[in-house]
């Protein structure tokens, strides 16, 4: 397998994946009930993370509100858990905003001095982003991170690698 990496990279030079959980790492039903075991699609995502060593992960899912980063890291394999480096801040839920998740991602980027970083979001809620947002890989919540999403995310990661 070809590994895409940058020798001597520091945490601040990594590319970023903003990761949702429900409808991405496991499917959800029409009524948003869980139709399979939690994290059933995580191995497929970890396959990409092992191929693209320059990508770190920021949790943008609502799971970040209930579990610490350390707790969330435990769902990942030993080979990838150290690459879960943070979570997006929560915009006041009492305030009505459009594109909430996109704004939370921007707040994380700004707050961590990473506004110029290469990044992509993997999510199943298009309403959380501007229409046609180029940095979004959208999953179907009933299929989660399927082969189509895998190929689209891999293309984004290849774009990151080509930009070096």
- Please enumerate in sequence order all residues whose Cβ is within 8 A of that of 79, keeping only pairs 6 or more positions apart, or say none: 46, 50
pLDDT score for 96: 80
Q: How far is CA 9 from CA 5, 61, 139, in A?
A: 8, 27, 30
**Does 130 map to a domain?**
yes
**Does 7 map to a domain?**
no
- How many structural domains are present in the chain? 1
Give backbone dihedrals phi and psi of 152, rounded to 5 degrees, phi first.
Answer: -65, -45
The tens-digit pLDDT sequence of the chain (164 residues) is: 444 333 333 345 699 999 999 999 998 875 555 555 789 999 999 999 999 999 999 999 999 999 999 999 999 999 999 999 999 999 988 888 889 999 999 999 999 999 999 999 999 999 999 999 999 999 999 999 999 999 999 999 999 989 87
**Does 47 map to a domain?**
yes
**DSSP per position, 34-60:** B-S-TTTTHHHHHHHHHHBTTEEEEE-
**Does 25 map to a domain?**
no
**Does 145 map to a domain?**
yes
CB 12 within 8 A of CB 54: no
**Does 117 map to a domain?**
yes
**Does 9 map to a domain?**
no
Residues linked to residue 80 through DSSP beta bridges, in sequence order: none
**Does 18 map to a domain?**
no
Range of the domain at 136: 31-162
Locate tokens 């909430």: which residue? 100
């Amino acid at each position: 397998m070809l590994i895409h990496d940058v020798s001597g990279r520091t945490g601040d030079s990594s590319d970023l994946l903003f990761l949702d959980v429900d409808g991405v790492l496991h499917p959800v039903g029409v009524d948003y009930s869980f139709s399979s075991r939690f994290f059933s699609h995580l191995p497929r995502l970890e396959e990409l993370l092992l191929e693209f060593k320059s990508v770190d992960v920021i949790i943008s899912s609502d799971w970040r509100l209930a579990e610490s980063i350390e707790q969330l890291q435990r769902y990942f394999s030993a080979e990838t858990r150290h690459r879960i480096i943070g979570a997006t801040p929560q915009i006041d839920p009492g305030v009505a905003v459009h594109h909430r998740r996109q704004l939370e991602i921007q707040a994380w980027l700004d707050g961590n001095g990473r506004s110029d970083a290469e990044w992509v979001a993997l999510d199943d809620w298009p309403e959380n982003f501007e229409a046609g947002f180029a940095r979004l890989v959208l999953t179907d919540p009933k299929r989660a991170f399927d082969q189509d999403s895998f190929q689209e995310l891999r293309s984004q990661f290849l774009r990151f690698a080509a930009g070096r």
